[in-house]
Structure 1
Amino acid sequence: MAICYDESRMIEFTYTPEVPEDIRVVVGIDFGTTYSGFAYAHVESCDVISNEDWPGKKGLKKIPTVLQYDENFEQAILWGFDAVASEPTKRRKKDKSTPSRPIELFKLHLGDIPKEQKPALPSNITAGRTITDYLRKMDFFRMVRLIATVPAEFTEDTKSIMRYCMYEANLINNSGTQNLKFTTEPEAAAVHCMKEFNQHGLKTGDKYLVVDCGGGTIDLTVRKLLDNNRLGEDTERSGDFCGGTFVDKEFLKFLEAKVGRYAMDIFRIKHYSQLSYMIQQFCERVKTRFTGEESEFRKYSLDIEKTCPALKQYVSGSAIDELEEEDWEINISFETVKSFFDPVVSKILQLISIQLDKSKCTVMFLVGGFSESKYLQQRIKQRFSKCKVVIPPYPMTSIARGAVMYGLDMDAIKNRVLKWTYGVAVYPEFEEGDPPLRKRSDGSIEKFCLMAKRDAQVEVNQRFSNTMLPTKPKQTGMLFKLYYTAKETAQFCDEPEMHKLGEFRVDLPDTHLGLDRPVTFDLCFGAMEIIAIAKNKTNGKVHRTTFKLDL
């Protein structure tokens, strides 16, 4: 498909046919909600390496997905660990600028979630800009193939936005380059797990479930091992926003109940670094150690004066008396910590149950940073005792590493299951029984014409075709409007849950032929990005799509 986001700038994204390119290195990017990372491999050796060299830190496989701009939000001046560790009032010696409040969790703006769950952004900063500015900090070398991952539950627009942001971040030279490919996070994890097949007795025809437990999202996919070490998708991939950071949110809700909502709101705005440090201490001392066994639980006391002293000045009313009685220490019991985990874990268990009901699997792989939680592992093993639960090597970096493996051998994926129903707008004549209010001035009605149905299993590069004719003899063009929906079928293009993927125009000269000017319209699936192609059968001219999206 082709994309143009800003008409005034006329940036046109056009797909070109696959051509041989001098690919020397494959880079897999795991752009995460809370932490991001990348892995790479030289094509000659195929050895996958996780990057561990970051500004301000070495030896860690991921970096916080956090940015800080200057006080006027004109330039991103800090990122990653530097953005988390810096005080809002501290000035940098190099540029003498005052950092703004750090911006985090901006990836959530790509998801179809309630607005209140998305982080507030400054009025002059868009989600697209934060993503672009963050990706720009990742300085890759040229002559590479980039494999970018997206969560399973994100809409089709996500890949378009990510392609645009990578182009703006100068990670790719050509906006329509075929050197940038996409895969879903669970698919990358599924490829990463292939090295573990022999060890766990998986053979051709067996199915396995991959549960990617990240910071913001949980993604699941059931894969089937086919001949020649190829993978097929057995059920529609699924996911939800219930990753490890939602345990942190439960902790913050608990703290808010102790100190008051006003105190927490002001503290979050004015003292972000202390808030970040407090959460970090909670994660290190409580969250990562929690096993669900009370005998193994170490009592934890949050000392406000030591951990987050600025919070004290905003506490008011009866909360002051209660906290002063306890010397500004808040004891957090085993049951309280368990209550932080349980709402999140329950959602994950439900997602797993739904997938296993659809497809019986003998092995389940847990990957992602949150998969290292002993409590989560215990609950999953307890609930699904008939399924072997495996935590493969490098669970935190499995997405980036799997993306690299996919980039080295893109034939590893033989087929996928469509997550959406796709179609195009058509304009037949209005007939008796059609809704009267939908009748157009020219006597036609706009309807949704099904092209490919949700839950269909498609081979790589499989095409779905339809032939269409102009509705008027003197018509000089045909406008294709492409839509997708979570429903299996639809009648109209403005129904609930319907999304517009984009539109493009096909020229129709030769008006002397009247209505006899057929156009074939193809949707090519299999690759993670959809390619839409229209061919004028009269003159043989081929058109590719030009979609327009707002960030």
Structure 2
Amino acid sequence: MSRDQDPSSSSFLVVAIDFGTTFSGYAFQFRHDYESDGIRSIFANTSWVADGGNGLMSWKTPTTLLLNTDDSFNSFGYEAEEVYQELIENDEHHDYHYFRRFKMMLHDKMIMDRNVTIEDSGGRKYPARSVFQHSIAYLKDHFFKTIEDRALGLEPEDITWVLTAGIPSKNLQLALEPEAASLFCKYIPTEKQTNEDGQNIKLVPFCAGTRYMILDLGGGTGDVTVHEVIDENTLKELNVASGGAWGGTNVDRAYMELLISIFGEDVIKRFKTERRTDMLEFQRDFEMKKRTIRDRMGQNIRPVVISIPACLSEYVREMKGWSLENAISNSEYADKIKLKPGNKFAFARELMETLFQTTKEQIVQHVREILDNQDSENRISAILMVGGFSTSNIIVDAIKEAFPDLRVVVPPEPGLAVVKGAVLYGHAPLTIASRVCKYTYGVAVYDTFKEGVHPPEKRLETKTEVLCKDIFNKFIEAGQSVSVNSSVNKTYDVTEPNAPMALNIFATTEKNPAFTTDEKCEMLGSITIQPPEGGWKKDAKIKVSMKFGGTEFEVHATDEQSPQTVYSTQFDFLTFNSRTQSTLV
């Protein structure tokens, strides 16, 4: 979105919604506070509290949704978890739809359509759009309840929303998470500024020319991007955004595997099935404890004490004939776990640290691969760590130890860096000079069939010629750096004088695909270019212009003979249930 179209210029308030894999939340700031205080006056709702008496508080609330039997909204976050567990205990849950960490189900999808589904806890498929709409609507309504006591009389047009959907488009901005994090950290001092005599003057944010990596570690995933500071308000993306499923939830899974090795899979399965409320409290207890675990570079060397639910102790005795003390002594961890009064396990800290080992190694390996692929002119000097999992000292210290020559910067409250950065983006969008394409984009076209070159199955005979169908006509290539708001133009002949021109767009990870039917090619959507009144001119050629590099995809079509005439285009990324034939040659 250009600055001329910036809806925040007339808004009194910017609200950003961070819809995460495991946790979600929002932050907001009034324009007058932004102009006078910068980041200091951004309010993030950090009062999300779980019931149950364990005192669990978090910066955000779990990305968990519960829908009623008639598909209407029931609850979200901690409340959804607790209501659903109560329904299970009363055996009333069967017709409800419960979605937990559902965003992760879409992680590996390169493309999605409007009919994409995700499964609820019962394995039933449900429209993903409805799940996201209910969830975002909850966060939006929660914000209004938070602010209504101020009786400000705000109108919808007074608010700019960032990083969300279900908001009127004229009031909506989209910001990419790494860029929002970079914008937030623009206000965080990270470098020493010196005078002409080489004396330190003050700490300042990243200076022009600095190249740094953004390591965004959340609950479900880790994402990596490399930026270069061009000037105070401009960044350049240096590599394709990448990542993997190595977030904090991997530690949770490792913890459950540890318990299975101690008590047995049958015991844990029964505990999960029959005592879901106790299981939820048990998981939340670990969620609190894992935040305080430190590795050998940290200061805390005391064991990690976790309460074992009485029902779990009963299952162990009933199903195994063991006491908790027997369960410990029979396991391979007899020297690393001690039983304390009140059914409590004291885990040696080094044992708990092993739960992070696999995830820690995956993160370090991925960062190293990116660094190894940087050319000498684009070497980075710092790693900026954001996201909730970046609060883990084990992970932070692992990065510092693996890359001692790089500065590792962790802003205050790293889990809120993205959402607070999104608020700042709503006030003054950061300028991105260029981005790197993750995929190769192109369209399906016909060309003259060449014997011995084109596959026989691609041969198509018409009344006047023999054509090859499904040729991938490339617009832009994976890994290519593209200036924001720059356009790539292609010219096509009109073949039907009165018919709309249908253009099917494809994407692939391959740099030079031959056909749109190649294995890794996926259809993204279609563009329909409507003919002018009276039909196309004779020998008309249509120039299709695709604008890349922004957070939105723009497509325009003009008659090459009359460039002042811009034909209407319809670009739909989410409708491609079947592949239609292209009318372009």
Regarding TM over 0.5, the answer is: yes
% identical aligned pairs:
25
Secondary structure of 1:414's aligned partner: strand
How many angstroms does 1:535 deviate by? 2.8
Secondary structure of 1:289's aligned partner: coil
Unmatched segments (≥5 aa) in structure 2 = 35-40, 111-115, 145-155, 194-205, 329-342, 578-585
Q: Which amino acid aligns with 1:387?
A: L
Tell whether 2:353 aligns with 1:361.
no
Alignment partner of 1:81 out of 71, 78, 85 = 78
Q: Greater Rg, structure 1 or structure 2?
A: 2
Do 2:297 and 2:397's aligned partners in 1 also have CA atoms closer than 8 Å? no
Secondary structure of 1:440's aligned partner: strand
How many angstroms does 1:98 deviate by? 9.4
TM-score (norm 1): 0.81
How many angstroms does 1:214 deviate by? 0.9
Distance change >3 Å, CA 69–CA 205, structure 1 → 2 = same
Tell whether 2:49 aligns with 1:49.
no
Task: Tell me how far apart the structure 2 counterparts of residues 90 and 468 of structure 1 sit (CA, whole Å).
Answer: 60
How many angstroms does 1:49 deviate by? 2.1
Q: How does 1:461-540 map to 2 (within 5 A)?
A: 461-470=485-494, 472=495, 474=497, 476-508=499-531, 513-514=537-538, 516-537=539-560, 540=566
Distance change >3 Å, CA 73–CA 259, structure 1 → 2 = farther
Task: Tell me how far apart the structure 2 counterparts of residues 52 and 455 of structure 1 sit (CA, whole Å).
Answer: 38
How many angstroms does 1:232 deviate by? 1.3
Tell whether 2:56 aligns with 1:62.
no
Deviations 1:329-377, CA, capped at 9 Å, x for gaps? 7664445323311110011101211232214222221111111111111
Tell whether 2:115 aligns with 1:110.
no
Task: Tell me how far apart the structure 2 counterparts of residues 321 and 64 of structure 1 sit (CA, whole Å).
Answer: 35
Q: How does 1:281-360 map to 2 (within 5 A)?
A: 281-292=285-296, 296-300=300-304, 303-306=307-310, 309=311, 312-313=314-315, 319-321=320-322, 325-326=326-327, 332-357=347-372, 358=374, 359-360=378-379
User: What residue number does 1:428 align with?
Assistant: 447
User: What residue number does 1:131 align with?
Assistant: 132
Do 2:295 and 2:350's aligned partners in 1 also have CA atoms closer than 8 Å? no
Give the structure with the larger strand fraction: 2
Task: Tell me how far apart the structure 2 counterparts of residues 441 and 259 of structure 1 sit (CA, whole Å).
Answer: 69
Distance change >3 Å, CA 480–CA 294, structure 1 → 2 = closer
Task: Tell me how far apart the structure 2 counterparts of residues 434 and 325 of structure 1 sit (CA, whole Å).
Answer: 70
User: What residue number does 1:541 align with?
Assistant: 567
Task: Tell me how far apart the structure 1 counterparts of residues 359 and 75 of structure 2 sit (CA, whole Å).
Answer: 31
How many residues align structurally?
504
User: What residue number does 2:480 align with?
Assistant: 456
Q: How does 1:363-402 map to 2 (within 5 A)?
A: 363-402=382-421
Tell whether 2:166 aligns with 1:189.
no
Greater shift after overlay, 257-266 or 388-397? 257-266
Secondary structure of 1:424's aligned partner: strand
Secondary structure of 2:86's aligned partner: coil
User: What residue number does 1:439 align with?
Assistant: 459
Greater shift after overlay, 456-465 or 538-547? 538-547
User: What residue number does 1:405 align with?
Assistant: 424
Q: Which amino acid aligns with 1:35?
A: F
Task: Tell me how far apart the structure 2 counterparts of residues 133 and 76 of structure 1 sit (CA, whole Å).
Answer: 7
How large is the Cα RMSD of the aligned pairs? 3.6
Do 1:367 and 1:392's aligned partners in 2 also have CA atoms closer than 8 Å? yes
Deviations 1:194-216, CA, capped at 9 Å, x for gaps? 11256455321111111111111
Deviations 1:36-71, CA, capped at 9 Å, x for gaps? 11111222331422123558789853111112233x
How many angstroms does 1:235 deviate by? 1.9
TM-score (norm 2): 0.77
Alignment partner of 2:171 out of 176, 179, 189 = 179
Tell whether 2:436 aligns with 1:417.
yes
Q: How does 1:233-312 map to 2 (within 5 A)?
A: 233-292=237-296, 296-300=300-304, 303-306=307-310, 309=311, 312=314
How many angstroms does 1:134 deviate by? 1.3
Distance change >3 Å, CA 63–CA 294, structure 1 → 2 = closer
Task: Tell me how far apart the structure 1 counterparts of residues 119 and 351 of structure 2 sit (CA, whole Å).
Answer: 26
Unmatched segments (≥5 aa) in structure 1 = 2-14, 149-161
Secondary structure of 2:186's aligned partner: helix
